[in-house]
Structure 1
């Protein structure tokens, strides 16, 4: 998703929102779903994919994945949507590269031992952002540090995005803002998160 977080880029299935960082809580886990709360759409973890990319100073692209993640969209009473997403860092991997996988899970990058989750909570947004594409605002928590970030969702390629086609979004964060400031001479400061999201079938009203 040519998303942008700090630099105006970042994550998918998370759609365009209203401004106002002040009221955004620092997420520690997905907020509980109340029986009398908003209608909930769940991310289909079997058919969705969350990955990330980091480039070296020599132009090489290192691609990783989060095999374990959870997500949901709350449909609010006014019709807007709100996304809650968490990714588990202890399972993060660079496919086929055990050494890089160990480094990504270690203290110099995601620090999975102390910070087992990366989380994103969006501000409320109107659902046509998914169909038309656009930016979303929210708060990212990474390594215990939270910052407001902007996401970009790509224009949908089908009439029912999330069901008949992926909802695709991308976002680039500056890793130094989250304490991931090692290897500055070897790696770019930018980490791009990529989400290709599908939803579980919508519940009956």
Structure 2
């Protein structure tokens, strides 16, 4: 009897793993940018350098994207001083919180072609919240492969306790992501 239960449990776990097969990795040429605006209307463009991630097949035609954006590599374009402050303890605090993560809710692949809203869990500065990104309609036959997947979203710094520069920066942070994918099947064997 116990052997039968163990066999059923192992089969269930194996089915769950198979249902979450990796389809693609986020390609290095992807761009993960954000915009901050000062109280004096100066626009600061930031970027996460070295972002990584994957797309997994959840089964039943659903997929999930998982992104990891390292905070130690964040840079504010053309502003080395702001770059240092952004990585520091009063903003991203890269020493304590080494990355920003986004895990999408299950979605249908058609959203890449047609565009639409993608919800998911964003973890930043140790706080996790449900956020949404709006995907533009694909500009090619195979979005992510032949052209970038373009997604935009807006979050509030205060929701994530990113309160450094509170008097100098507006609360709104605009994300602009251009994601390219590499199919797992097309990667060379290791």
Other-structure match for 1:57 = 39
SS at match of 1:203: helix
Work out which of the residue numbers 91, 94, 105 in structure 1 matches 2:76: 94
Distance 2:71 2:174 in 1: 15
Distance 1:172 1:79 in 2: 28
Other-structure match for 1:176 = 158
Distance 1:182 1:97 in 2: 17
Distance 1:162 1:122 in 2: 16
Structure with greater strand percent: 2
Does 2:29 align with 1:42? no
Using CA pairs below 8 Å that are at least 6 residues apart, which structure has the higher relative contact order?
1
Work out which of the residue numbers 131, 136, 144 in structure 1 matches 2:113: 131
Structure with greater helix percent: 2
- Write out per-residue CA displacement over residues 68-90 of structure 1, whole angstroms, 9 at most, x where no aligned residue: 11110101211111011111001
Shift of 1:151: 1.1
Does 2:134 align with 1:152? yes
Count of equivalent residues: 170
Distance 2:181 2:51 in 1: 13
Other-structure match for 1:71 = 53
Unaligned runs of 5+ in 2: 1-15
- Aligned 8 A contact 2:19 2:59 in 1: no
- Aligned 8 A contact 2:19 2:57 in 1: no
Distance 2:48 2:130 in 1: 22
Classify 1:39/1:144 alpha carbon distance in 2 versus 1 (closer, same or farther; 3 Å): same
SS at match of 1:83: strand
Q: Provide the TM-score with structure 2 as the length reference.
A: 0.85
Deviating runs (4+, > 3 A) in structure 1? Answer: 34-37
Unaligned runs of 5+ in 1: 1-33
User: For 1:102-117, what aligned pairs fall within 5 Å after superposition?
Assistant: 102-117=84-99
- Aligned 8 A contact 2:44 2:77 in 1: no
Q: Provide the TM-score with structure 1 as the length reference.
A: 0.79
Distance 1:143 1:95 in 2: 21
